Structure 1
C-alpha cells in the first residue's frame, strides 16, 4: 500500500493522478492523505487493517529489462536457487542489486561467496548493466506518470516559495541566514522571552515553595538532617534546574516553527556543500540538528544514513552537538558573566560544537578513507504558516523529556550529591570540606586549574554531569549550600573570571557524553569500544581546547 501525502500541494500544481491507473501499474493499493490537516488518516488506518486481515489481490511488480540484462539475471537466478537454496524472488532481487552496483550487496555476496554473481562482476560492469537497469526504471516511471496524470482547472503558483528559496538557499547567503536565524532563536530564549520567565519561576520556587516546605517540615517535627535534604537538597537542586524550563521550551518552540514552516529542509540543503568537504552529505546534518534537542535522538536518527562509514562518523560526532541538557548551565554562566551578550555567547558554543564536529569528521574521513561521493536527495516542501497545534505538540514532545529527567535523573543525582557532600567515613558532617565530595573534588582539582577552575565544588559537579548534563546545575547549588540559582550566579563572581567561565563552558560543551549517549553509541555501533573511544576522545578534545582558550586568553586579559 502506498499513501500519497501532501495531496493538497499536488492540487496546487494543476495536476492530478488517477489512482486506479497507478495501482494497476504499481501492483499495489493507493490512497491519498493530507497529514497536516489530518485528512485521509482515518481512512488510511481502516484500509491498512483491512489489507492486513485479508489476502493480497496484487501480484509482485516485475520490470522487463533489456534482453542482455534479463539473460544475465536468468543465469544467475538458476545457479543461486539450485546451489544456494535461495527463493526465485530473492535470487532475482539480489542479482539486480548486484548488477546495479549496490555496494552493501556486493559485500554481502563476497562474504557469502556467491560465485554466480562474483564471477560475473567484471562482465556486468563492462556491459554497463547499471545504466541499462536505470534506463528501464526511468522509462517505466515516466510512462506510469504520463498514463495516470490529468490536468485540473485549479492551479496555484508557488512563486513565493521559489522567491524565498532564491535567498535562503543561496550558495553564499544561505549560511549567514542560517546563523542569523539561530541567533534570533537564542535572543528569544535567553534575552527577550525565556530569561524573564525563568527569573519569575525562580523567585516562586526559591521563595514561597522553599519557605512553605521548610515551615511544614518544622511543624511536623522532621529531623534537621531530613529537613536539610528536602529543602537544601531536593527543592534547591531540582528547583534550580526547573527554573530553566521556560528558556528550553522557548528554544524548542522556535525549532518546531522552523520545522513546520519548511525551513529545516533548507538548512540541510545549505549545509550539504560543507558536509561534502568532510566526506559526508546534508543527510548527516539532520541528526546533528536533532542532536540540539538530545544527542541520543540524533544518534538514533543516524540510522537513516545508508553508508556504514558515514553512519559511524555521524554517530561519533553527534555528542559534540550542544543538547538541551547543557542549557541550564549555559544560562547560569551567561547570566553571571555575559549579561549583555547572552545570545551571542550561547550561539558561539553551538557553532563551536558544529565546527569541532566537522573537524573530527574530516579526520575520520581520512582515517576511514571515505570517498565523499554519496548523493543527497531531500524534498523541499512549500513554505507553510506554522500551525499552533503542531508547534505546541512539537515543543512538548521535545521538552517533556527534560521534565521527566527532573523527576528522575536530576532528582536522584541531586539526592546523591547532597548525601556525598554531607557524609564522610565517620557519618554525617556539618563541614562540607570534610565530605566525600570534597575529597574527590580536591583530588582532581590540580587537573582543572590549567583551564581556569579553582573550586573543588565545580570539579565535583562536573563529575555528576557524566551521569546527565542536567545534574551539573543542581549539583553546584547543593555543593555551595545555596537555595536558588540566583545565589549561585552571585557566587560565581568570586570564583571565576569571564575568561575562565567561557573556558569552562567550552569544556562542558565537549567533554565526556552522558551515560545515555554512550549507551546509544554502543547500541548503534554494536561495539562498546566505540563508547569508550567517544568518552576518552571527547575528554581529551574538551580539555585541549579549554586549555588553549584559557592559557592563550590569559596572555591578553
Structure 2
C-alpha cells in the first residue's frame, strides 16, 4: 500500500487536512513506546493509500518527542511521498522544515495552506515561481474551507510515482566541501547527504548509529573547527543561517507583502485578549459565558427534560409498570429501575450540558483562542515552576485527565513534567462536570447554577496554582523553569465538521464509559445498597442496614471535619475512585428510594439532604474536584511517572491537598457564616498558614536542590 506522510509545523492546518482526506476512515493510537498520539487513515478516494499524520514539528532536530517521532518515522518507514503542509501566512519560518525534509530525498509536495488569509491581507504568492525556485510541486490550499485538499492529495500521488526531488539547499562552498568530507565517512548510501549534515550539527542519534572510529571522529571534529573559525559560529547555527538565507533568496519576487507595517485582524484582537491586564479577566469572562450556555441557558432545560421525563417518567415509570405487569420479583424491579436506570440515568441526565460544554471548548480550540490562553498563562506558570506547555495539559484535562497526563510527555524538563502530572488532574474534567452540575443544582435549590459551576472551575485553576506553588518551594521541584515557545495561529472561523467531530469523540468516550464501567458500578452499588448481613444471612434490607452503609460508615469519620461525615456522602465519594461519574451514579441509586408516599424524591432536594448546609455540599465538591483521579488515570500516572515512589507520592499529595482544601473551605466558611469555632477550625488555620508560608518562601537554589535530589536517589 502507498503511504503519504503529512508533515508540517504545529497549527499549520495539518489535522484539518488529515480529516478532510480520510473522513471517517481513520484510527487513533499511540506511537510505539511513547504516548504521543498517532493518527492514520485511508484516503477517501483510494482506500489503498494510507495517510499518516505526523506530530507537528518545527524542525527535524531531536529536541522533543514529537521531533524524534517525525524524524524516525521518515528515515525508518520511508513513506512513498511527503505532503508538507506550509502555513502561507508564516511562509519563511515554515519553509525551514521544508528544506530539511527535502534533504531526505523522499518525493515531496508542498501544500501551501491558509491562502485565504493571504488574500484577506491583500498579499500575493506566485506559486508557480516558488515551485520552480524550490524544485518541488506547490499546491494552493485552504484546508479549513476544503479548497485544494483533493488537488494536494492528487499531486502527492503523482509525485510518489513520477516526481524526483530536485530541491537542495546550496550552502556556502566551504560548507559544501565540509559536507563532502563527512559523506566520505558514511557507508550506507541512503540519506547520505542528510546524515552528513546531521553529523556536522552533532546529532547524537546519527552519531550513535554510524559507529565512527576514533580517527573518523577526530576528522569530524577537525572539519567542525575549521567551519567555526571561518564563520565564527557553531555548526548548527551556521547551517540554520544558511537555510534561512536560501529561503530568503527563493522568496524574492515570489512573496509580495503590503508595503509598510500593517496590523492583521489577529494582531488587533491579540492586542486586547493577550493584554497584560485584560487577558485574565477576558478569559474568566469567556469561561463564564461557556458555563452560562452549558449549565443554564441551554443545558439545564435539556437536563431537566432528560431527568424528569425520559429517565423518571418514561424509563423508570415505564419499566416499573412493565415488570409489575409480568409479576417480576422485587429484586429484579429494584435492580433495573433503581440500580441500573437510576444509577446510569443520573450522569446521563447531565449529557446535554456536557455536549454544550464540549461544543464551546471545541470552538475555542479550533478558532485559535486556547493557544492564546497557553501564552497568557505562561507568564503565571513560569513563577510556579511550570511552563505554557503545562497549561496545554490542563486544558486537555478538561476533557479527560488521561490524555492530560499523557500530554505532559512533551515537556522536556523532568521536574516540570512530574509537577504537571501531579496537579493536572485537579482540572474539572468531563467526568467531574456532572458532579459540578449536580452539587451546583443542589445548592441553588432549583437547577444547576452556572455561577457556582463557573466559580468551581476557577477554583480548580486557583487550587492548581496553590498546589504548584507549595510544591515549587520544595527541594524536589526547585530550580529555573525551561522557556516555552509556541506559534500563535491566526484567528479563523472554525470548521463545523471539526468542532462536531471533537465534540462527538468526547461524548462517545463518556458514553462508552457509561456503558461499561458505570454499568458494572451501578449494579455493584445497587447490590451493596440493597443487601446486608442479617441473622438469616445475606438478605434485602433497609438501606440504612446495607453493606454500602457499613462501608460508608467505616470511613465517614475521615470526612466529618469537612462537613459531610455521613455514610451516604462518604460511600459516594469512595465510588469516585473507580470513575468520577460514579459519584453521581451512586447518589442516583441512593436517592432512588421511595418515601412514605411511594414517590421518588426530586433529585436536587434529595441530594441536599445528605449535607447539613451549602458549605458542606461545596466542601464535598471541592474534595472530589481535587482528590486522586479515577483508576484509569491512576494507571496512566504510574506508567508516565515510570517510578512507583513518585507515583505514590503524587497520589498521597493529591489526597491530602484535596482533604485540606475542603477542610479550609468548610471550617473557615463555617466560622464566617455561622460563627462556629473548634479544634478543626484551628487546624484549618494552621494548614492555611503553612500553605501561605510555603508559597511566599524564597526559591531553593538549583545547585542545592540538585544535590538534595541526588542524595534522595530521585
TM-score range, shorter chain: 0.7 to 0.9
Matched residue SS, 1:372: coil
1:256 positional shift: 2.5
Cα distance in 1 between the residues matched to 2:657 and 2:520: 29
- What residue is the counterpart of 2:5 in the other structure? none
Deviation at 1:159, TM superposition (A): 5.1
1: distance between equivalents of 2:442 and 2:393? 32
Match of 1:427, SS? strand
1:360, 1:60 → 2: CA distance? 51
Aligned-pair CA distance for 1:186: 1.2
Quick one: distance in 2 between partners of 1:289 and 1:95? Answer: 39
What SS does the corresponding residue of 1:31 show, helix, strand or coil? strand
2:427 aligned partner: 321
Match of 2:282 in 1: 177
Confirm or deny: 8 A CA contact 1:332 1:489 kept in the other structure: no
Of the three residues 565, 568, 573, the one matched with 1:457 is: 568
Q: Which piece of structure 1 moves more, 324-333 or 187-196?
A: 187-196
**What does residue 124 of structure 2 align with?**
16
**233, 243, 248: which one aligns with 2:354:** 248
Q: Shift of residue 143 of structure 1?
A: 1.7
Q: Which residue of 1 aligns with 2:147?
A: 39
- Whole-Å separation in 2 of the counterparts to 1:491 and 1:549: 20
* 3-state SS of paired residue (1:377): coil
Distance 1:48 1:539 in 2: 53
Distance 1:418 1:286 in 2: 39
Post-superposition shift, 1:106?
9.2
Cα distance in 2 for partners of 1:390, 1:354 equals 27
Counterpart among 50, 57, 62 of residue 164 in structure 2: 57
- SS of the aligned residue for 1:382 comes to coil
Provide the residue aligned with 2:531 in structure 1. Answer: 423
Kindly indicate whether the alpha-carbon contact (under 8 Å) linking 2:413 and 2:482 is maintained by their aligned counterparts in 1: no
Match of 2:298 in 1: 193
Match of 1:203 in 2: 308
Q: Does the C-alpha gap of structure 1 residues 183 and 75 become closer, same or farther in structure 2, counting only changes over 3 Å?
A: same
Query: Which residue of 493, 500, 503 corresponds with 1:395?
Result: 503
Name the one with the larger strand percent.
2
How far residue 172 of structure 1 moved from its aligned partner, in angstroms, is 0.7
Q: Describe the superposition over 1:448-491 as per-residue Cα deviations: whole angstroms up to 9, x where unpaired.
A: 11111121121111122111101111111213443778335334
Say whether residues 1:226 and 2:342 are aligned partners.
no
Deviations 1:192-216 (A, max 9, x none): 2211221122111112321110111
Answer yes or no: is the 8 Å Cα contact 2:131–2:137 preserved in 1. Answer: yes
- Aligned counterparts, 1:21-100, within 5 A: 21-23=129-131, 26=134, 28-52=136-160, 54=161, 57-58=164-165, 61-62=168-169, 64=171, 67=174, 81=186, 88-89=192-193, 91-98=195-202
Q: CA deviation at 1:62?
A: 4.6
CA, structure 1 residues 516+493, in 2 after alignment: closer, same or farther (shift >3 Å)? Answer: same
Aligned equivalent of 2:708? none
What TM-score, normalized to structure 1? 0.85
- Which one of 491, 494, 497 corresponds to residue 382 of structure 1? 491
Q: Report what 2:628 is aligned to.
A: 512
Partner of 2:462: 355
- The range that moved more, 508-517 or 250-259, is 250-259
Deviations 1:414-443, CA, capped at 9 Å, x for gaps: 111111222345323223333332222111
SS of the aligned residue for 1:408 comes to helix
Of 57-66 and 10-19, more deviation after overlay is shown by 57-66
Q: Does 1:145 align with 2:256?
A: no
- Runs of at least 5 residues in structure 2 that lack an aligned partner in the other structure: 1-82, 85-110, 595-599, 675-714
How many angstroms apart in 2 are the aligned matches of 1:121 and 1:343?
66
Distance in 1 of aligned mates of 2:500 and 2:130: 37
* CA RMSD across the alignment: 3.6
Q: Distance in 1 between matches of 2:337 and 2:636?
A: 35
- Equivalent residue of 2:476, what SS? helix
Q: How does 1:298-377 map to 2 (within 5 A)?
A: 298-307=404-413, 309-338=415-444, 342-362=449-469, 363=471, 367-369=476-478, 371-377=480-486
Pick the aligned partner of 2:551 from 440, 443, 447.
Answer: 440
Alignment of 1:252-331 (within 5 A): 252-307=358-413, 309-331=415-437
Q: Contact conserved, 2:436 with 2:456, CA < 8 A, in 1?
A: no
- The answer to whether the 8 Å contact 2:294/2:357 transfers is yes
Distance 1:268 1:282, change over 3 A: same
How much does 1:306 deviate? 4.9
CA distance in 1, matches of 2:193, 2:648: 43
Between stretches 404-413 and 507-516, larger displacement belongs to: 404-413
Number of residue pairs matched by the alignment: 542
Distance in 1 between the 2:134 and 2:464 partners?
43
Residue 549 of structure 1 is matched in structure 2 by 665
CA distance in 1, matches of 2:205, 2:477: 19
Report which structure shows greater RCO (CA 8 Å, sep ≥6): 1
